[in-house]
Amino acid sequence: MAYKCIIPWVMMAQCFILVNNINAGKVPAIIVFGDSSVDSGNNNHVRTIVKANFPPYGRDFPGGNPTGRFCNGRIPPDFISEAFGLKKIVPPYLHPSYDIKEFATGVCFASAGTGYDPATSNILKTVPLSKEVDNYKEYQKKLRAHLGEKKANEVISEALYVISMGTNDFLENYYLHPITRGKYSNSVDKYIDFLVGIAEKFVKELHSLGARKISLGGLLPMGCLPMQRTKNIVGGKGDKCVDDLNTVSKNFNSKLSNTVQKLNKELSGIKLVYANVYDLFYEYIHNSSKYGFQDGGKACCATGRFELGYLCNKISPFTCKDAKKFVFWDAFHPSEETNRIISDALVKNGLRQFL
């Protein structure tokens, strides 16, 4: 297998994956949980305003159609699936056009706008993590009916589980809702402990359901998102990253990483990997030209400052012509090119142990 990369990945994975069917079959499926960083279109089938099923979303996706991915093209699970010799896209579980035949080699349960905190998904009426797990349990029953007990159990235990969420808990919940802050005595550290505790319980539940190979994603530098640079909801000025938010990301990531080490010792047969996306994003944002990007501070869509969802639309005269030149697609989500390079880094450095 040959890698050719420029550099060694929440949201929300990069360097084009020049790998030819990496040990195809060793990981028989990619199973995804999380938020908009990895949602391949489940929110299209949920009563919520958090959608990306309209142009210019998906303009660089095969066929040029919006799929519900918050990107101009493919997202990390798609690239990871391809790198493992599986299909090039991971379908959303709630899409009625797919069935267990397609889901047997990869399925996405993620929902844009969700988080570890149940209150986060309730704010925007998206699928809570608990329901993602319920859908996964339903999937297991369908898989056993489709493949038989023995084969289905092999897929469940050998599949790679990709988890990416947490950003919404802070940016759409904690920092916008005084009730949430008050519940944790206005201590973001207490809230971090609460979220990491849920993440730990979630991994333990997946393990009890048969999962053994798991990638648990950390937070990207939240203070460097174009929207946060513009809003400056926690200090900072102008186009500079919001240092306080980045500190929150790093503190959350540190505790999540420690939990990964702990669970690897406690849970029998598990291989749990912490996906460090913070350092990669920070590097690309601050040294964007070094990696072929034109701009690491603002997004391709519209003015690139605060638009996402319906504010990022096809009638905007400002949306860039070539999204490959931008680290971010909209003010909250990375471009396909960024997803591609980060995904390759994850496969090369963290996920290769599953090959």
**List of residues 6+ apart from 278 with CB closer than 8 A:** 218, 219, 220, 221, 249, 250, 253
Which has more pLDDT, 2 or 92? 92
Decide if 333 is catalytic: yes
Say yes or no to pLDDT of 334 above 60.
yes
Mean pLDDT of the chain: 88
- For residues 338 and 78, give the distance between their C-alpha atoms in angstroms, rounded to a whole number: 13
- So where are the chain's domains? 30-354
The CATH number given to 30-354 is: 3.40.50.1110
Say yes or no to pLDDT of 1 above 80.
no
Decide if 244 is catalytic: no
pLDDT given at position 123: 94
Q: What is the mean pLDDT of residues 281-307?
A: 81
Contact 221, 282 (CB under 8 A): yes
Catalytic residue among 35, 78, 117, 330: 330
Decide if 330 is catalytic: yes
pLDDT in tens, 305-333: 444 455 676 666 568 889 999 999 998 99
pLDDT in tens, 227-277: 888 765 444 444 689 999 999 999 999 999 999 999 999 999 999 999 999
- For residues 328 and 319, give the distance between their C-alpha atoms in angstroms, rounded to a whole number: 12
Q: Is the overall model pTM greater than 0.85, yes or no? A: yes
Q: With cut-offs at 50, 70 and 90, classify the pLDDT of residue 301.
A: confident
Catalytic residue among 36, 37, 121, 343: 36
pLDDT in tens, 33-77: 999 999 999 999 999 999 999 999 999 999 999 999 999 999 999
pLDDT given at position 4: 33
Facing residues of 272 across strands?
214
Q: Pick from 4, 10, 36, 7: which is nearest to 278 by CA?
A: 10
In total, the chain counts a number of residues equal to 355
**Can you point out the beta strands (E) in 50-130?**
106-108
pLDDT given at position 14: 31
Which has more pLDDT, 10 or 257? 257
Catalytic residue among 40, 121, 249, 333: 333
